[in-house]
Amino acid sequence: MITCFSTQSTAQTVSADKSLAPAVLPGKGLNQFDFFYAGEAKWRNMYIIRNGQITWSYIDTVGKGEISDAVLMKNGNVLFAHQYGVTLINRDKKVLWKYNAPEGFETHTAQPIGKEHVVFVQNGNPAKVFVMNIRTDKAVREFEIPFKSGTHGQIRHARLTKEGTLLVAHMDLGKVNEYDIDGKQLSSIDVPSVWSAVPLKNGNLLVASNQNFVREITRKGRVVWDFSLADISDYTITSPQIALRLPNGNTLVNNWFNQWSNIKIDPNNAPVQAFELTPDKKVVWALRSWSAPNLGPSTTIQLLNDPDNMYEKVYFGNIK
């Protein structure tokens, strides 16, 4: 048994003697969906998969930082947060806008607002939410938010809601807090070691935690669906990061693998990078693509034809 620690200071335990996943996985592999893919890794790589093939890729092996969040926009642009900044590129990989975090600060999550604004969270002392006008490169809103840990362990994920508010997954506080455009805290839900919080169409939240669970909860914090990693004995799931609800009602979970550990991927016994669960927790699809092509660790998957995609159908207060 080997235990390693991730960059978020959470343990991943992998047994060299145990099969990490079935030899034959359910579903159609890369052909299951057309999707956009990115993950926290030593290299900042992103991919678009169509009909089971890579049709677009962004490969950066010389920069620094990890991609914790990325959004593929309808016009083909990609906005991504990469620890030491936030960057917007077009489909030809030309940089359209870039924010560099100051020394000692980190940025792990970002979301576009319309065509002119980006909202992101900056970890550090103090931790802050920024709304930037990317045409003028000026902050039009900024406010401080609570924190208790060092810079790296504070926040990984934030998302705008259909009500025009911002949900922030405070990993260090173990809370999902909701803020308005002026920085007023509207609500707070206890979710231990929460990594991500995604608002659902029904008004509930889908949260993933470093304590190895994914849950659907109401805005009052009541659990209406609960998945523990121990619920699927045939798979070794090390670290759920972003989870999303699919149009068919199933749940897709990204299973991150820590490249900074001493554990190497065994091509004959590799973990899955993502999996799809039915409401009764049956695995109906799992992705394992560590070679031909090697997609690397998984943090976020965005379906290309998801009618429930809210990434660009949002606003923040009076900013649209």
Q: Please, are residues 46 and 39 in contact by the beta-carbon 8 Å criterion? A: no
Residues in the chain: 320
Do the domain assignments include residue 183? Answer: yes
Cβ neighbour number for residue 194 with a 10 Å cutoff? 28
| CA gap 15, 159 in Å, rounded | 35
Do the domain assignments include residue 18? Answer: no
What confidence tier does 308 reach under pLDDT thresholds 50, 70, 90?
A: confident
Q: How far is CA 214 from the centre of its chain?
A: 13
Which structural domain, as residue segments, surrounds residue 91?
32-303
pLDDT in tens, 278-304: 999 999 999 999 999 999 999 999 999
Q: Please, are residues 217 and 223 in contact by the beta-carbon 8 Å criterion? A: yes
3-state secondary structure 191-219: CCCEEEEEECCCCCEEEEECCCEEEEECC
Do the domain assignments include residue 120? Answer: yes
The model's pTM is 0.94
pLDDT in tens, 35-50: 999 999 999 999 999 9
Do the domain assignments include residue 94? Answer: yes
CA–CA distances in Å: residue 259 to residues 13, 30, 53, 165: 13, 22, 24, 34
The CATH number given to whatever domain includes residue 208 is 2.120.10.30
Do the domain assignments include residue 5? Answer: no
Do the domain assignments include residue 320? Answer: no
What confidence tier does 62 reach under pLDDT thresholds 50, 70, 90?
A: confident
Do the domain assignments include residue 78? Answer: yes
Q: Please, are residues 295 and 289 in contact by the beta-carbon 8 Å criterion? A: yes
Cα 192–82–205 angle (5° rounding)? Answer: 35
What confidence tier does 8 reach under pLDDT thresholds 50, 70, 90?
A: very low
The count of domains in the chain is 1
Do the domain assignments include residue 68? Answer: yes
